[in-house]
Amino acid sequence: MTTKITAAITAVGGYVPEYRLTNAELSTMVDTTDEWIRSRAGVEERRILKGEGKGTSDLAAPAVLDLCRARGIDPSEIDCLICATVTPDMAFPATANLICHKIGASNAWGFDLGAACSGFLFALTTGTALIESGRYQKVVVVGADKMSAIVDYTDRSTCILFGDGAGAVLLEPSTNGFGVLDANLKTDGAGGEFLHMKAGGSLKPASAATVAAGEHYIFQDGQPVFKAAVKSMADAAAELLERNQLTGDDIAWLVPHQANRRIIDATANRIGLPAEKVMLNINRYGNTTAATIPLCLWEWQKQLNKGDNLVLAAFGGGFTWGAVWVKWAI
């Protein structure tokens, strides 16, 4: 009988830029207040990548190097790198290729995956399949976004939410039952009209008119997005537990996408987890899109124990949503 190969997370890395954009500073840019932002979104500050000529790869590269140091490997040992992002350095080449070049991952192939705030979960599940195939030994999954590049800092409904950052995990084969054990992922393109960027794609190429109309920023119709997120993220996590005969008592941590405190609370309540078992750093980083979940793992890794059951859950533009069960291997 062949032993089942699972994809274990064997190292975590992270990076956030130094510059802190506080609510106080934001209130000088748009009509808002610290109290209003905290009560609506739970954000106190967010990190911003400053400087000319810097893109998402400049967030991701240090996160992956951090991961390599943690595992004691050279970047040349990486077989494949998947970058989840909606803010690629450019339309092509893939940001994954630029990351590999910057860190010296000369033997890796790689590609970008776009699923907005669910991007890390989708990329993690894809990387898991590569490991389970038996063909690859070291797959890096990095979630990275420079959201400040597509945020309209005159729109108080969105600019208060987003920040820049990157988080990465290394997947390696395990025969001990650790790693990514199940995933419940969903998409519904009907939700596209509520959360998108209007121009810059093949549907509406960039022009002087699209720039003048402010169509290269995030567009979000808040109410339908919030309503769908609360239900979908909680449903995905509950379905995942149910089909694996797990309850909240079996789960050490919920690792939720950091979009909004109220959405996170709804998911935790649905699967019966108290607040102390929920990773929460939205107050310090805001919504870093594909980077939120790996940044949580990076910050909490010292509190995680080998064998802990984690539920990773997200909701994002697309609509995309899902939940992943991970048995911690470190």
Phi-psi region of 178 (alpha: psi -120 to 50; beta: other; left: phi over 0): beta
| CA–CA separation, 236 and 330 (whole Å) | 26
Count of Cβ atoms closer than 10 Å to residue 1 Cβ: 3
Q: Is 80 a catalytic residue?
A: no
Cβ-contact 279, 311 below 8 angstroms:
no
**First and final C-alpha spacing in the chain:** 27
Rounded Cα–Cα distance for residues 143 and 290 (Å): 5
- Helix locations, the chain, DSSP H: 23-26, 34-41, 57-71, 95-103, 119-132, 208-212, 222-243, 261-270, 282-285, 292-300
- Characterize 224-257 residue by residue with b for buried, 16 or more Cβ atoms within 10 angstroms of its Cβ, and e for exposed: ebbebbbebbbbbbbebbeeeebebeebbbbbbb
How many C-beta atoms surround the C-beta of residue 53 within 10 A? 5
**Whole-number Å distance between alpha carbons of 306 and 301:** 10
Choose the catalytic residue: 117, 159, 260, 296: 117
Establish whether the linkage from the previous residue to 62 is cis, with ω within 30° of 0: no
Q: Distance from CA of residue 287 to its chain's centroid? A: 9
Options 23, 97, 260, 287, the catalytic residue: 287
Of the residues 23, 68, 83, 257, only one is catalytic, namely 257
d(CA 122, CA 126): 6
287 is catalytic: yes
Point out the residues that are catalytic. 117, 257, 287
